[in-house]
Amino acid sequence: MAENLNLNLEEIAKNCNIFENAQSIDVISKINALKSFYHEEELVAIYNYLLSKSQNPDVLMYLIRCCDEYRKPSSLEYLVDILLLKNVSGISEELKEKFLNVRIMSAKAIGNQKSTTVVTSLLYCLNNKNENYRVRLACADALGRIGDKYAVAPLIEVVKDEEEKSVYLKESATIALGLLGDDRAVDPLVAIIEAKQGIMDKFSFLKERAIEALNKIGLCRNDRVFKALKSSLADESPQVRIEAIEALMDSEHPQAFEIIKNVLINDNDEEVKKNALIALYNMSDREILDEVISLPIYSETLKMAAVDIINEYESEDEDG
């Protein structure tokens, strides 16, 4: 590409002080100035070349942002080399730490291009348990955004792996599975929701992400999923219960309305009750609000919430 554009890339790199131990801010300033002299295709070729030559983390971060701005397929191989540390010689643990944020940003830029050609490289990092969890997390996120079904099975393995120490990686893999929308993810995601002990009690947000993922896949009407969501309404975490209410609302299951309605009376958290009331209102009409206001079985806080919704509804109706 560079030859076709007739660019002297080595000379440009020298002028930007890439090969010298110059201050990062000076190198970045020189690279930024290139935008005044070259058009888009030339700039991308220059950025790609500089990515392969620079060993300065700050400069590489800037170059990755530049490549991410244009998102040209020609940049992918250079971004992958950075992710896999192929651009750095003599890789030590200290050097790996130094380039950590660079590699994470590279994974994000790779994901933004949504190209299936890089899935294997992302999976390589994801499956490497000796890899930094933040890099693996960024790769899981990138795989979800790329949307290649080939990534489903490895992501499921991360979610199912009881020896995986990083709950944040499990969370990222769970979100990615929701984006991929593959039915194979149902069993492991339901298993997260149904978990009663251990890591799940401490990190309820993983359950929240699992519910969100199932909702995105659109399988909340599935009997096993619906049963798990119904059971989640008794979860210790109010936020898990709120996520379950939203998923049940979207499920269009014939039993969903009555199940959510029970929350109005039986739940001990007013915020959860408010979310249930909003869900019921969205599923039906004002009748549920009038019922809450008129019957003594409902709390005063919930009655006030119903009045607020009516006032908002009437205001919008008048404006319409």
For 171, the domain range is 114-240
Q: Is the pLDDT of residue 317 over 70?
A: no
Q: Which residue among 212, 240, 268 closes a domain?
A: 240
pLDDT at residue 3, rounded to an integer:
45
Least confident of 18-32, 171-185, 209-223, 257-271: 209-223
Domain termination residue (choose one: 240, 269, 284): 240
Contact criterion met (CB below 8 Å) for 228 and 213:
no
In angstroms, the CA 303 to CA 290 distance is: 9
Q: Both 28 and 94 in a single domain?
A: yes
Residues 6+ apart with CB under 8 A from 279: 245, 246, 248, 249, 260
Mean pLDDT calculated for residue range 125-145: 93
Does any domain span residue 245?
no
As a whole number, the mean pLDDT across the chain is 89
Give the pLDDT score at 86: 85
141 and 38 both lie in a single domain: no
Do residue 223 and residue 202 come from a single domain? yes
Question: What local confidence, expressed as pLDDT, does residue 158 receive?
Answer: 92
Do residues 49 and 136 both lie within one domain? Answer: no
Instruction: Determine which of 185-189, 202-206, 240-244, 261-265 has the lowest per-residue pLDDT on average.
Output: 202-206
**Residue 6 shares a structural domain with residue 101:** yes
At 183, which amino acid appears? Answer: D
- Express each pLDDT in 265-307 by its tens digit: 999 999 999 999 999 999 988 899 999 999 999 999 999 999 9
